[in-house]
Structure 1
Amino acid sequence: MIKTLEAILNRPRVVLTMMVVLVVAGISSYISLPKEAEPNIEVPVYYVAIPLQGVSPEDAERLLVKPMEEKLRGLDGVKEITGIASQGFAAIIVEFEAEIDTRKASRDVREKVDLAKADLPADAEDPVVSEVNLNLFPTLLVTLSGEVPERTLFRHAKKLQEQIETIPSVLEANLVGQREELLEVNIDELKLEAYQVSQLELITAVTRNNRLVAAGSIDAGKGSFNIKVPGLFATAQDVFSVPIKVNGDAVVTLGDIADIRRTFKDTSSYFRINGRPAIGISIIKRLGENIVSTNQQVRDIVEKTTKGWPTQVHVGFALDESQMIFEVLGSLQSAILTAIALVMVICVAALGMRTALMVGLAIPTSFMLGFLMVNLMGNSINNMLMFGMVLTVGMLVDGAIVITEYADRKMSEGVDRSKAYILAAKRMFWPVASSTATTLAAFLPMLFWPGVTGKFMANLPITVIIVLSASLVTAMVFLPVIGRYFGKVNKSASDTLQALSASENGDLRKLGGVTGLYVRVLSGMIRFPLFVTAIALGLIVTSFMV
């Protein structure tokens, strides 16, 4: 290992080129990485909804919940099944163990739900299976409001929805607060009697229309032709012209005996912005996409599409998750910069400007290598990753300080700076590597934290492991090569380094300054080991009691 390290350090141009390439790649990765508030965690929870109009909660439990639960209980890896019965509706929440394969679990749940359909009432709607994913919640809400006709709002919202869905990073753009448009048909009983149309003839004629008719194909010898029978309603005129009864040459249509007009379904909920009627468009981004850039693209599309709209239609935005991410990531970035500044101040005071700058170089280099690794792993920048970087700021410079201090000492003895930094890397490789390994060992158990919480918290130790490993490479490989060109002994510390070197076989207590004071205090404590140990144990016990 030491020979390999020496061979690498003897090729400084290659090492510097590699360092520049990796740092540039890290900067590019930081810019392109998706930015999210929380890590992308797959939650093995599935929601099965079963609507049935008019059913009571008691009957929903007996007719809907129990048959579905009986089928779902046989699934492997199920942690908990929760049934919900309410007026006109039933739901089942299926939670699996965190270690389960979510794709297999999703497939198994859907298969069991299909099997349970045969046991449900005939009037029940088809069950809908939804996978719970914390990253598939809306990231932005576009609102359209104003004292204008409801159809005007709906028409503009529909147009805007179609434009937003063209954005590649948008998974869904769903309308919120709108009422479904329909054609209302009011039968005139007097006209029924006048045209001698019975209720049975009316119902039969209506039910036989608006159907997809599979007419097959015709083989003409030279080729086969599919036959299409237009039977679905496409326009309001199709509804008007539905034939109800034929009397001689006269055809009685639905429009002859009914009043047909466009309207909306009855209101079941209200959506208002500042007291005005409104319709919203909830935006859901695709997994792995940058929430900040996605929301900005939505805002740009909205601004472009709404030009020329009536002034009575007010367009706004609400529940913008990217603003919260800006605040969280911004505060964490500020904390990182503050920590870097404080570390640099201490390094400059203790080591001198030149040495402190070389030591401080380990921080951004390690971070950029860390972002590169995060990008290669397919992860995103989130609050847990940034928090892990805050924890590692102070630890990043430990190895660099050890290397530069040993190299400075050798240079004070007259060793060439190139040889001094190579000697420092060779001599301090195992101590620095062992120190880094012990720190990493303290975070490793967090990788095995069970459950969804464990998956969430695993981002913290992964970040620490990546960044500290990058700092080890920086201290052992990049820093000695940089020191080869820029290393220089601090004049203020030169006397102390020379005294340390000269007193290796002499009395260290004769050293001056803070170093000499530390040596004298330490030598005094060594003379009374039992007393010092007793005081240390007493402080430990006292800390637990307080």
Structure 2
Amino acid sequence: MNAVIDAAFSRTRVVIMALVAILAVGAYAYVAIPKEANPEVPLPLVFVTTGLDGISPADAEDLLVKPMETEFGALENLEKMTAQAGQGFANVQLEFTAGGDIDDALDKVREAADRVESELPEDARDLTIVEINTSLFPIITIVLSGPLPERALNDIADTVQEDLEALPGVLEIDIGGQRDEFLEVLIDPTVFQTYNLSFDEIVGQIQRNNRLIAAGAIQTGGGRIVLKVPGLIQNVEDVMDMPVKVRGDAVVTFGDVATVRRTFEDPDSFARIDGQPALSLEVTKRSGANIIDTIAQVKARIDALSQDWPDAVQVTYLQDQSEQVETLLSDLEANVIAAIILVMVVVVFALGLRPAILVGLAIPGAFLSGVIALWAFDYTMNVIVLFALILVVGMLVDGAIVTVELADRKLQEGMDRRAAYAFGAKRMAWPIIASTATTLSVFFPLLFWTGTTGEFMKFLPITVILTLFASLFMALIFIPVVGGVIGKRQPQSARGKAVLHAAELGDPRDIGGATGAYVRVLEWAILRPGTTLLCAVGLLVATFAAYAEFGRGVSFFPEIEPEFMRVELRARDNLSIWERDALVRAVEARLQGYDEVETVYARAQLAEGRQDEDTIGVIQLDLIDWDERRTAAELGAELRADLGDIPGIDIEVQTASNGPNQGKPINLQLRTRSPDKQAAAVETVMTLMDEIGGFTDVTDTRPLPGVEVSIQVNRSEAARYGADVSLLGQAVQLLTQGITVTDYRPDDTDGELDIRVRFPREERSLAELNTLRVPTPAGLVPISNFVTFEPSERVGTIRRIDEARVVTIEADVAPGVLVAEQISALRGALEGADLPDGVTYSFAGEAQDQQDAAQFLSSAFVAALVLMVLILVIQFNSFFQAAIVMSAIIFSIAGVLLGLLVTGRPFGIVMGGIGVIALAGIVVNNNIVLIDTYNDLKRQGVQSLEAALRTGAQRLRPVLLTSVTTALGLMPMVIGVKLDFFTREVVYGAPSTQWWTELSSAIVGGLTVATVLTLVLSPAMLMLQDRLAQVRLPEFLRGLKRSKPAR
């Protein structure tokens, strides 16, 4: 390493040019690197769907789902298989091992789909296979609303879709809430009797008069003449003028017997924003596109297009992910600038201005070097990368401080600046390399985090490793070289020179001031190493015992104040879309009276397998700024009380969840192969949850019962009248969605419109079906002559996991209640519960995520400790000294728990766990340098006591500097303060700062305790090592030591 440092100092200008290039290219890379909310991770999920018109959920389970489960269940690397069977549809979701080859999995799914299609009913729709990818999730939702005709709003949405899809960063625009238009021919049932018409005559007449006739051409003496027979329907008038029947000399047209109009399909949903009809446009970006730039371009195009729209059209943006990214970028920039300023202030106070500039330069240098590497590897700047960069800010200056502090010491001794900084880099090279290696070893196991969470989180260790590796070069190459150019001996008082001389060559006991007081305390501890160790262990045990007794337990992810809330309306009844909408309007009207709600986006909808069947509507509330309202928890409690008296519905008020799991935190799955046992099992669990208390918004996914009418045809009786099932099917279609007879292309649209024949709305009812007369060869015959109507119970959507029926019970927890405590209480109650035979249960959702994360982070922590021990033994060639360094990690955990006790916070599994792992890499650094200094003094022949005291005196300043600068770099996050240097604002308690509180608190609390113990306990343990080495070994051990193996 010395040769590399000498080479750098011999080419000073090259090194400085390289540093300038790094800063310039890094700044460009920071601007140019694509930015997005979440990393693009190929989720190991494949969705397979099919359907069969009219099939019931129970039949869909037997005829569609089970054959697919049998075939797909044999695929390699399949982790989980989830299936749904509903009215007219079936789907299977396949989850493969994360990190595998998703393309290979897709090929195998397609091969299995080809095999299974032969086992499905003949009329079943072809299997559709879709890969689920995070890049296909929308980055922003545009809502168009206003008191406009539906066709006008649709035309605007189509124009926006076409225009935005031409932008380079936009992949697709999906319009929600837009109904398809068609040409409706309404014929009264009495027309068939009046004109003696059959259903086939009506259908056939339209079909035969909508043909493209290839007439050809004729050759004559006058030339070739092309013949044209216009036969295609082009407008409504063409249908109205079309003949239906001839009566005598009169020609009856559709205009005489029917109402012909362009209209829209019957709604399956209604959408409104602030009470106005609305359409939503979900924007999906292309892979690698910059989310901030893409959304800015989208908004600019909307602003330009809106100049030509009616004034009544309102544009609202929902779920704008660029805001989250911009906030995190702002937090990162603010933390980096704050860290640089705070570090420089501390270093200026301790060492002077020029050393402070050098140390401050290490942060942007290492930071931008890491960004260059990320950019070169084609990574994006996403929330995980930003999180890692914020985490690592406090670690970037440790090596630089150690090098600069030693060089400053040598400058004060009279050495010239070039030699001083070269000496500092060479002398501290291996301690800094070892300390950096131990820190990197902490994050290295995180690269092997399995599952989808691991695929997301792998960007954390990659970013930290790249940035810390760059900080090593900053500390040993760039900063010393620049210091050799601009370094300068600071004026020093006689007292300062005396302190320096005493620490380096004289008696440390002669030092006065704070350093002298420390040396005297240290001497007391060194002379009583056993007592010092017992005191430290006693503090450790007391802290763990106090936390076990008074600690707040654990949480999975930090609670972040949300920007929006969600209200779900549930009703277990057969409700039409209009009845659902009426209930949604009632809730919507109350919500619009809250001043803290900025936007109310309401949707009434039919479930159709897309969400829980009893969900009749969803209302999204965008809230005003967090500092101008109550907390979401307080507002949610009032909303539950205010909306709870609306009859016929259950209300759920949900806030946006944080972390990878977006469902309710309590998720209990009950499995059984006997459907009749599901209800009893669910009721048992519900009773237990009521007895435990603390649960809110409890729901379950049992199939929703309903009513269906089965039309039974007496085929023998129908044959007497010349009728059959096909004739009955036409009659039923006329009463429902209509008979699609053909299509046409009007002049004012680009697509084709269906032409459908059906009865007027007032004639479409079950009562009308019972009295309907159908045309037969025997004349018009009441349908009741050969048909009976049998109402029966309809089963809703059936859910299955791994080939067994599953009912999921989900719940939130009351404010102030910890999820982990509720899960523990419920798990304990279930162990003694009397569940029906054959029913098993398991926790999923946040409970499973929390368990998996805790298990992996524990394993990663152990692996990191093993790697650190290996590095330390290589560095010191001593198990005892390695144990001294590792003990700092244990004592630092006591500092973390002590901080949690003082603040009253629970321990966060994810953020707190990562903080502890990062802390382990940080706290060993000072110990490594301290022990290295002690060993160097011992090699110079200094006695153990003097070496320990001199080590403490020499390392006090750099240890305090590195610890204080690291803590100060994280302190704004600890106290929740955001220092915005661009707007010159100081914001306290902003939601964005709540992300980092657990992480930064863990590091600062542990580092504080570890620093104190490093300065006192570690030197005492070094003295204890020396005393143990002088203890006479028992005779048999000395004999073993002297003995040699026989040759």
Give the TM bin, normalised by the shorter chain: 0.7 to 0.9
SS at match of 1:491: coil
Deviation at 1:103, TM superposition (A): 1.7
Match of 1:12 in 2: 12
Could you report, residue by residue, the CA deviation over 1:163-201 in whole angstroms, capped at 9, with x for unpaired residues? 010011111101110101122245689999999987556
Name the SS of the counterpart of 1:126 in structure 2: coil
Aligned pairs, how many? 529
Corresponding letter in the other structure for 2:177: G
- Please say if residues 50 and 124 of structure 1, whose CA atoms lie closer than 8 Å, have aligned partners that are also in contact: yes
Aligned-partner residue type, residue 371 of structure 2: F
Shift of 1:394: 2.4
Letter in 1 for 2:44: P
Spell out the pairing of 1:134-213 with structure 2 (5 A cutoff): 134-186=134-186, 200=200, 203=203
Distance 1:445 1:233 in 2: 69
Alignment RMSD, CA only? 3.4
Identify the range of structure 1 (463-472 vs 317-326) with the bigger mean alpha-carbon deviation: 317-326
* Aligned position for 2:271: 271
User: What is the alpha-carbon distance in structure 2 between the residues aligned to residue 483 and residue 264 of structure 1?
Assistant: 76
2:58 is matched with 58
Deviates more, 1:304-313 or 1:234-243: 234-243
CA-to-partner distance for each residue in 1:282-319, whole Å, 9 max, x for gaps? 11112222111111111111111121211122233222
Equivalent position amino acid for 2:426 in 1: K
Superposition pairs for residues 498-517 of structure 1, below 5 Å?
499-501=499-501, 504-517=504-517
Q: Secondary structure at the match of 1:119?
A: coil
Q: Aligned AA for 2:117?
A: K
- Structure 1 counterpart of 2:372, which letter? L
CA contact (8 A) 1:142 1:280 kept: yes
> In structure 2, how many angstroms separate the alpha carbons of the residues matched to 1:181 and 1:3?
78
- 1:281 deviates by 1.1
Q: Find the aligned partners of 1:62 and 1:365 in 2 and give their Cα distance.
A: 63
**TM-superposition CA deviations, 1:483-505 (whole Å, max 9, x none):** 12211122247864675357644
The separation in 2 between residues aligned to 1:379 and 1:4, in whole angstroms, is: 31
Q: Does the Cα contact within 8 Å between 1:47 and 1:130 map onto a contact in 2?
A: yes
Which residue of 1 is the match for residue 455 of structure 2? 455
Q: CA deviation at 1:260?
A: 4.3
- Change in 2 beyond 3 A, CA 1:324/1:69: same
Q: Does 2:133 correspond to 1:133?
A: yes
Which residue is 1:410 aligned to?
410
The Cα of 1:391 is off from its aligned counterpart by 2.5
Q: Which runs of 5+ in 1 are unaligned?
A: 216-228
CA distance 1:493–1:140, shift in 2 (3 Å): farther
Distance 2:243 2:109 in 1: 45
**Distance (Å, rounded) in 2 between the aligned partners of 1:319 and 1:62:** 40
Contact 2:139–2:283, Cα closer than 8 Å, also in 1: yes
1:201–1:244 CA contact under 8 A, matched in 2:
no
After superposition, residues 231-246 of structure 1 pair within 5 angstroms as 235-236=234-235, 240=239
SS of 1:356's partner is helix
**TM alignment of 1:448-527, pairs within 5 A:** 448-492=448-492, 496=496, 499-501=499-501, 504-527=504-527
Q: Secondary structure at the match of 1:174?
A: strand
Partner of 1:224: none
Match of 1:223 in 2: none
Native 8 Å contact 2:236 2:261 kept in 1:
no
Number of the residue aligned with 2:262: 262
Cα deviation for residue 204 of structure 1 reads: 5.9
**Structure 1 CA distance for aligned equivalents of residues 442 and 363 of structure 2:** 21
Contact 2:499 2:512 in 1 (8 A): no
Greater RCO (CA < 8 Å, at least 6 residues apart) = 1
Question: CA shift at 1:207, angstroms?
Answer: 6.7
Asked whether the 8 Å contact 2:144–2:280 carries over to 1, the reply is yes
The answer to whether structure 1 residue 359 and structure 2 residue 350 are counterparts is: no
**Distance change (3 Å), C-alpha of 1:191 and 1:433:** same
**In the alignment, which residue of structure 2 is the partner of 1:435?**
435
Cα deviation per residue 1:71-103 (whole Å; 9 max; x = unaligned)? 211211000111111222222111111132112
- Give the deviation of 1:369 after TM superposition: 0.6
Q: How many angstroms apart in 1 are the aligned matches of 2:462 and 2:524?
A: 43
Paired position in structure 2 for 1:397:
397
Change (3 A) 1:53 1:209: farther
Q: Which moved more, 1:512-521 or 1:496-505?
A: 496-505
- C-alpha separation in 1, matches of 2:23 and 2:39: 24
Distance 2:127 2:336 in 1: 49
- Are the counterparts in 2 of residues 140 and 320 from structure 1 also a CA contact under 8 Å? yes
Query: For residue 282 of structure 2, what is the amino acid of its counterpart?
Result: S
* Equivalent residues of 2:498, 2:511 under 8 A apart: no
Amino acid at match of 1:85: A
Cα shift at 1:380: 1.8
Counterpart position of 1:532: 532
Matching residue of 2:301:
301
SS at match of 1:47: strand
Instruction: Work out whether residues 79 and 95 of structure 2, in 8 Å CA contact, stay in contact via their aligned partners in 1.
Output: yes
Q: Quick one: distance in 2 between partners of 1:231 and 1:449? A: 68
Distance 1:371 1:231 in 2: 66
Structure 2 CA distance, aligned partners of 1:160 and 1:381? 29
Q: Measured at CA, do residues 190 and 528 of structure 1 come closer, stay the same or move farther in structure 2, by a change above 3 Å?
A: closer
Residue identity opposite 1:363 in structure 2: I
Matches for 1:370-381 after TM superposition, within 5 Å: 370-381=370-381
What secondary structure sits across from 2:488 in the alignment? coil
Shift of 1:133: 2.4
Distance in 1, Cα, partners of 2:326 & 2:175: 26
**TM norm structure 2:** 0.47
State whether residues 344 and 360 of structure 1, in contact with CA within 8 Å, keep that contact through their aligned partners in structure 2.
Answer: yes
**1:146 is matched by which residue type in structure 2?**
G
Report if the CA contact (8 A) 1:52-1:89 is conserved. yes
SS in 2 for 1:93: strand
CA distance in structure 1 between the aligned counterparts of 2:476 and 2:230, rounded to whole angstroms: 77
Other-structure match for 1:98: 98
**Corresponding letter in the other structure for 2:268:** S
How has the CA–CA distance of structure 1 residues 168 and 239 changed in structure 2, closer, same or farther, with 3 Å as cutoff? Answer: farther
Question: Secondary structure, in 3 states, of the residue corresponding to 1:98?
Answer: coil
User: Contact 1:138 / 1:283 at 8 angstroms: preserved in 2?
Assistant: yes
Partner residue in 1 for 2:320? 320
The AA in structure 1 aligned to 2:138 is P
Distance in 1, matches of 2:301 and 2:237, equals 36
Structure 2 CA distance for aligned equivalents of residues 167 and 494 of structure 1? 70
Question: Which residue does the alignment assign to 2:344?
Answer: 344
Q: Which residue of 2 aligns with 1:83?
A: 83
Note the alpha carbon deviations across 1:374-419, whole angstroms, 9 max, x for none.
Answer: 1112222223222222322222111111111221222223222112
Query: CA offsets per residue over residues 438-484 of structure 1, 9 Å max, x none?
Result: 11111212211221122222222222211111111111111011112
